[in-house]
Amino acid sequence: MQIIVTGTLLGGTYALIALGLTLQYGAARIMNLANGETLVAACFVSFWLFTATGVNPLLGMVVIAPMALVINWLIYAWLLRPLVRRAKNRGMLEVDSILATFGLLFLLQGLMLLGFGGAYFSYRFLAEPFLILGEPYGLNRVVAFVAAVIVASLLYLFLYHTRQGTAVRAVAVDPASARLVAIDVARTAAFAFALGGALTACGGTLLSTFYTFNASMGVIFTMKALIIVIMGGVGDVRGATLAALILGVTETAVASLIDPGLTLAANYALFVLVLLFRPQGILGRASA
């Protein structure tokens, strides 16, 4: 039981890391390699808000998420739209966006190194035991999990039960046809990218309450997010959430029952299995 709870909590953390990238890659078609840097930047902002002004990170999200939305919109408008315009097909856009966001990764990392230096940062927030079925778990992780559930449900409602959300999905499935039904593809893609950035920033804010982080750690998160996004099926929010949970529970089970040293191996074994048997992702549909 403890394994399932710990694993589920970990899955929530992973979902937070990956949901933003799902949107950015799935809908806006931008393979954002600077995803982890966005996350770490949010960690820094919430660290700063908490230690300098005493702002609760959960409240901090109210500031950080809109800020990330605007910044990511600007990044899309200035850096990525020219690439979208000149791309002849999806493959070309993917290659170009990988290169461009690879550069962005270094830019963001450099700025953070400049601003905060390379040291480890961490602070204590809700690092209290919280009892679930008589076993203690970190309250900050529980809070992050609950927030992940809320964020994922809101996102699901938005994507599947609103007009704007349906437009985002339409763009994700087929940008060319979406235009035929009067969807402003450029605007919708920009919105999806910005929303993805905001989600990642929310994830960063929550993660900063229990992770020790520094300016050069973004890559670790990008890697994790990438695995989850591909496992879940590109652009599928439900798939990504499911993949995150499966990954969390598997890792915890392997760590508890076999050996914690094997978590990475289990992680990649699962990834390989999915790629072998469902290359389109757990919930992904085979492309026509």
Report the residue number, 196 or 204, with the smaller CB distance to other proteins. 204
The reply on whether position 264 binds other proteins by CB under 8 A is yes
The reply on whether position 124 binds other proteins by CB under 8 A is yes
The reply on whether position 22 binds other proteins by CB under 8 A is no
Report the residue number, 44 or 211, with the smaller CB distance to other proteins. 211
Q: Minimum CB separation from other proteins for residue 25, in Å?
A: 23
The reply on whether position 115 binds other proteins by CB under 8 A is no
Note every long-range contact of 93-99, with CB atoms under 8 Å and residues 24 or more positions apart, other chains counting.
93/29, 93/30, 94/29, 94/31, 97/29, 97/30, 97/31, 97/32, 98/31, 98/33
Q: Minimum CB separation from other proteins for residue 109, in Å?
A: 7
- Cβ-proximal residues to 198 (8 Å cutoff; 6+ apart), any chain: 20, 65, 66, 68, 69, 72
The reply on whether position 47 binds other proteins by CB under 8 A is no
Instruction: Tell me the sheet residues that pair with 130.
Output: 137
The reply on whether position 210 binds other proteins by CB under 8 A is yes
| Position among 162, 164, 177, 256 found at the interface with other proteins (CB under 8 A) | 256
Report the residue number, 13 or 24, with the smaller CB distance to other proteins. 13
| Position among 102, 162, 259, 269 found at the interface with other proteins (CB under 8 A) | 259
* Interaction site with other proteins (CB under 8 A): 2-3, 6, 9-10, 13, 109-110, 113, 117-120, 122-124, 127-129, 136-138, 210-217, 220, 251-252, 255-256, 259-261, 263-264
